[in-house]
Structures are given as structure tokens and as C-alpha cells.
Chain A
Amino acid sequence: MSRGRGSNLARLIFLGPGLIMLTLLAVVPMLLMLSTMFFQRGRFGGVVYEFTTANFSRLFQPLYLNVIQDSLVVAGLVTVLALLIGYPTAYAIAQLPPKWKTIALLAIMLPFWTNFLIRMYAWTILLSGPGLVNEALTGIGLIDKPLELLYNRGTVVVGLLYGYLSLMILPIYSAVERLDPRLREASANLGASPVRTFFSVTLPLTLPSALIGAVLVFVPSFGNFVVPEILGGGKAIMVGNLIRDQFLKARDWPFGATIALVMVVVTVILLLAQAVVSRRTRSA
């Protein structure tokens, strides 16, 4: 009994500062902000504290539903591509000799130390009409005139993928790295081909980490407004842009908060799904 209480106290001491910070500086402001969705917008911005459900019905207008749906498609596409590219990359890095492993991981992390905005602007230079990619393609005679590579949904997907791919690679890498090599040997020893071993042993045991990576990529992609702005040219509007516009341009906090709720709900659903799958996969 006393031992249990002691460890509870210790737990509280360790968790306390973090919990207080999170509650005061993240949860409370977020709840305050979200609570505005039950109220009306003031004539010149601000919030008029009169109860209404109009914000919710407005959310279901096709205009906004389309934006939400588009954002889900873009973020989903980015996540799937990140998984398809990230998993083999992470797997390959985990098989490298230790020295090369460090170099490869460093290469993956390196872009992270550069400002996100600058990296995105760099893409506009690469992809613009007279940019490097078009120059190269015309140079080798593959195309006659420059392609329109910038300012469409594909560009947004590429930009988001580039921005968040490492968030997929790192958790998968650590899971593959941690995987007991004897499990794969045991699988081979029991008659499983390398492909079979991958799908029956390696993949299921690293899936929880791949899902963490998927959540890490999906959530910031879904709410992103910088990439659609810079690489999408403002044409490809996403939820993030919508929220930003409501708060900063339309000065409609209540409706902005309502759309933000969509993001919170999507994120929570994803985290719950991830938790359920990991629990099922993990031993005991």
C-alpha cells in the first residue's frame, strides 16, 4: 500500500510540471477558443456571447464540406505516399552498417534544421517555369516547353510529402532497428521465404510505429496552410487556409473555431485508431 502511494507521489512529481504546462497553456486556451463556436460573430469582428448553432449548420454547406474533403484527400495521399516511400527507406537504413546508418539518419534529419518556409520557397524555384526541373527536362529534350509544375494540388502533395517524410521514416526505422533479428531467422528456419517473413513477422511487428508515423504525417498535412499558400498558389485551399482566413481575414472567430473542431476530432479519431491497433499488435 505505502509503496503504491509512494510511487504515485513520485509519478506526480515527475508528471506534474508537464501536466500543468499542458493544461494551462494548451488545453485551457484551446477549450476557450473552441467554446466560441457556440456564439455569434460581432459585426466588426470579436465574439458576441449569444448562443447559436448556426456555425454548425454553416459547416455542412457544400463549400466547406468540399474543402474538408479535399484536405482529407490531400493529407491521406501524402500519408500513403510517405508510408510507401518511408517504409522501404527506413527498412533499408536499419540494415546498413552502423557507420552508414548514422550518416543516412543525419541526411534524413538535415532538412529539419532549415526553416520550413525557406524549404518550401526553394521548391518554387525548383518547379517554376524557368526553374531547374523544367530546364533539365527541356535540356535533355523530353519536353518542348516548360510544364506547369507549380500551383496545383500535386505540388501541394509533393511539398507536404517532402516536409513531413522524415516523421514517417524515423519511427519506422527505430521499430525495424529494435526488432530482434532472431525473429526473422526463426521465420526463415520454419520455412518462410523472405517475402513471407516480411509480411508475417516484420510488418506486423513494426506496424504500430508505422501508424505513429502516419499520424505524425497526416495531422500536420491536414491542417497545413503554408504549403497550399506557397506551392498551391492559394488556389488549392485546405482546411488550414480556411481556418486562418476565418480568424485573420473574415474575423469570424466562432466559425473558425467550428472548423478547428473538425481538425481536433479527426486527430483524436486517428490517435484512438492508432492506440487500438498498437494494443492489438503488441505482446500481452
Chain B
Amino acid sequence: MTLLSIEGVSRKFGNVTALSDVSIDIQQGEFFALLGPSGCGKTTLLRILAGFETPDRGGVRLDGADLLKLAPHKRPVNLMFQSYALFPHMTVAKNVAYGLERENLPRAEIKARVGEVLEKVGLEPMANRRPAQLSGGQQQRVALARAIVKRPRLLLLDEPLSALDKKVRAEMQLELKRLQHEVGITFVVVTHDQEEAMSLADRIAVMDQGRVEQVDAPVTLYDRPRTYFVADFIGANNLFTGAIRGGVFSAEGLGPLPSKATTADGSAALAIRPERVRLTEPTPGMVQGVVVDVSFYGGVSHIAVEVTGLGRKVLAATQGSARITPGTVVGVTWRPEDAVLIAN
């Protein structure tokens, strides 16, 4: 069931296009991520959903009702701010209770719900502290507790983990996911960190320069990128530009490459993941190159191959340590079905 539908939303700031005809449908109970480099418009979109910005064109419907008509404080949408925006003059408990007090609920119920949610995020002992007396991770939990205690239809999270160090971050990632399952609220998270988006989200919208490039599940985004930007942005990739003629992809300066052309003739790009690239004995007719660098990362090794006729190096990844040494002449190949063709 569609909970939120964003229909053709555009927003300009002066000459800068922040959002250009963005349409996304988000399902009830989904953990959805807006992923893109900084300046891609994802935060503007989030602010439109919260009501702090208005789009120039387009509409937003929540449960079928026009969301844009509602004032920010009347929307059943809560936002967890990147900077947390905790009220410095209130205790943790008062911060969390703030949203419930605005609903004029009975005191006893507010107290019970605040206690419940603080327990859920493990901050009960901190209830009477001020935000400034908490660590970054604890502040983050307060911000989360304050946002979910209202049981919103939709919870927006703006770079929720960016201010945390790597270890706390991994913990909080798991916790966010667990919480989302527990409370059953639809989460929309904005992030520039693709690992965060990939590990958290059911579906991801990849955005660039105000446009939605692709909306798909993480695995699909990784295996079947539909645009050059997505292929390049998500994970490591080897990209060749060229053209398809008669069902065969030929790269500029290299000639035909292994692929199964499903797209029509025309200019296109070929993407092949490093872990799909195989290095073999060089045979005539095959792409050839010289190994220039071998890096061992514990579980995997990365081998960079300088390919004749290509400006950039081709990256290959192998399990364990590589038996190959720099200077070796190798053939570079892959199974045709592993290559992804992207029409321009």
C-alpha cells in the first residue's frame, strides 16, 4: 500500500535547481533511503515533506490526502534532525515529552509513553539530564526517541548517523533497523553514505542534481544499475564508454567487449564489477594489460591493471591473497552475462 506519493516535485533556489520533477512512491512500513552526493536535493525533499520548504511545482500525498496543505505543526510526520536540534533548556524526558504535550494528552499517559520510549532506546537512567551532558550517541537516541514517541505515520531521518564515530555508527545502524521493525513506522532516511543506505533500506532512491536516477532495492541497484551515474556511484565499478552496433558492445579504443546486448543500437556504457573481472593468460583478441598494483585487504585483494588503449585502470577483486605480481601481462575478461549495459 502506498503511504506517501511524491508527484513531479520541483524546487529552485534562484538559479539553482534543487529538485527537478521528482516522483517517488513510498510504501507503508517501508524503510526507504534517499541517497546521493551533497547538493543532490535530498535534504530539500525532506524539508518539503516536513513542511519547512514549499515546492514550486508538484504535489505530495500522504494516505491519499494533500500533505502540502497542512502547516508544519499539523503534519503526522516527524523529523529527526541531522544536528538533533534537542532543546538545550529541557531535560531528556522533557524533550521527549514535548511532542506529546502538544497533543494535550493526559499527564499519566505522557509519562508512561516517555518512559516506554526511553527504555526502548536505553536512556531511562538519563531521563533527568540535559542534552549537553550526553554523548553524541546518546543525543542521537534522544532525538530518535523524541521523533518516534509521537507514533508518526512517517518518520524522516536526516543523515541520522553522520555525527557518530564509526563504531557507534554500526551499533546504531542495527538499532535503527530493529526499532523500525518494532514500531512499524515508515522510515525515510536521507544519507550520502551508500553503505548506510544499502545496509538499512528496503529500497533506495539514488538522486543526482535534483533528479531521481533510479529507485530500487539495494541488490538491484548494485547488480542492475540503470544509469551511468548509479553504476559509478554505487560501489566500485569498471565503466567503459562506447556504442552498441548489431548487438555487440564496442568500447572506445578497445573494440568489442564481452556482453549480452539487450538494449538497442546506439551509444552506451558497459559496467563490470571488480569481483566479476577475471584475469587470465593473455590470448589474442582479448583485452590485455599490465598489472600495476596489488593491494591485500585481508578478505580480498584488489588488482589494478593498466589496459592498453584505455585511459583508466581496470580494477579486479579476488578472494584471499593474489598470486599475481605487478608487471605481469594479463588478459582481462568476464562472463558476458555479468556485464551491465547502460544506454545513453
- List A residues at the B interface (Cβ < 8 Å): 180, 182-183, 185-194, 196-197, 200-201, 204-205, 281-284
Contacts and interface: CB of A to CB of B under 8 A. Distances in A.
> Chain B interface residue count: which class?
20 to 34
27 contacts: A182-B85, A183-B87, A185-B72, A185-B79, A186-B81, A186-B85, A186-B87, A187-B87, A188-B52, A189-B50, A189-B75, A189-B79, A190-B78, A191-B74, A191-B99, A191-B102, A191-B103, A191-B150, A192-B98, A193-B73, A194-B73, A196-B102, A201-B87, A204-B89, A205-B89, A282-B89, A283-B89
Q: Which of A191, A192, A193, A283 has the most CB of B within 10 A?
A: A191
A266 B131 CA distance: 35
B81 A182 contact: yes
B88 interface: yes
Contacts of B75: 189
B51 interface: yes
**Centre residue among B52, B83, B87, B103 by max chain A CB count within 10 A:** B87
Given A283-B131, A283-B132, A188 B81 contact: no
Interface string B113-148: 000000000000000001111000000000000100
Given A185-B81, A189-B77, A282-B89, 15 more contacts: A180-B83, A182-B81, A182-B83, A186-B79, A186-B85, A188-B72, A188-B73, A189-B78, A190-B73, A190-B78, A191-B73, A201-B87, A283-B88, A283-B131, A284-B130
Contacts of A182: 81, 83, 85
B52 A185 contact: yes
Q: Which 10 A-B pairs have the closest CB atoms?
A: A283-B88, A190-B99, A191-B102, A284-B132, A186-B85, A283-B132, A182-B85, A188-B72, A188-B73, A189-B79
Contacts of A192: 73, 98, 102
A185 B132 contact: no
Interface of B: 50-52, 71-75, 77-79, 81, 83, 85-89, 98-99, 102-103, 130-133, 146, 150
A196 B73 CA distance: 10
A193 to B, nearest CB: 6
Contacts of B88: 205, 282-283
A182 B50 CA distance: 12
B160 to A, nearest CB: 14
Residue of A185, A186, A192, A197 with highest tally of chain B CB at under 10 A: A186
B293 to A, nearest CB: 45
A185 B48 CA distance: 12
B102 A183 contact: no
B52 A190 contact: no
Nearest to B146: A190
A189 B130 contact: no
B332 to A, nearest CB: 50
B92 to A, nearest CB: 12
A227 B131 CA distance: 47
Contacts of B78: 189-190
A207 to B, nearest CB: 9
Given A180-B85, A182-B85, A204-B89, A189 B131 contact: no
B89 A189 contact: no
Contacts of A190: 73, 78, 98-99, 102, 146, 150
A214 B75 CA distance: 38
Contacts of B130: 283-284
A267 B152 CA distance: 50
A253 B17 CA distance: 74
A282 to B, nearest CB: 8
